Amino acid sequence: MRCEGVANVPNPLCHFELMTNNTQAAQAFYGRVFDWRFDDASMPGYTLVNTGAEPTGGIFAKPPDAPGVCINIYFHVDDVDAVLKKATQHGATTLSPKTAIAGVGEFAVLADPEGIAIGLFKPAGE
């Protein structure tokens, strides 16, 4: 996954995920509406979304214990641990600790003080 920033924008939105009850229906809808292309083979259980430009995305099935379908967004950061620590110092709650994805990068998910979930992402090799 690439995560190229927008010129002069610190920590740009770099990836999104659709957590859905029906991944095939989501692909059909977003493919027809936005002409997105999909890769189901590269990461089993996770569909990569090629929007034709940045940001790129993913689609995955809603786990049974998740409260509902949603869209997750990830912001590009230089240091997941440092930003997660800073966020928690300012009232955020960690929902998913820093997790590495081999060859892709590392991410964490937090809830801001109002409970809005956001992701942090650092691409591999940075």
The fold for domain 77-126 equals 2,3-Dihydroxybiphenyl 1,2-Dioxygenase; domain 1 (3.10.180)
pLDDT in tens, 109-123: 999 988 889 999 999
- In the CATH hierarchy, which top-level class contains the domain 13-69? alpha beta
Least confident of 5-9, 18-22, 51-55: 5-9
Please report the pLDDT score of residue 12 as a whole number: 84
Question: In which order are the strands placed within the sheet that holds 37-43?
Answer: 37-43, 46-50, 56-61, 13-20, 70-76, 117-123, 105-111, 93-101
pTM of the model: 0.83
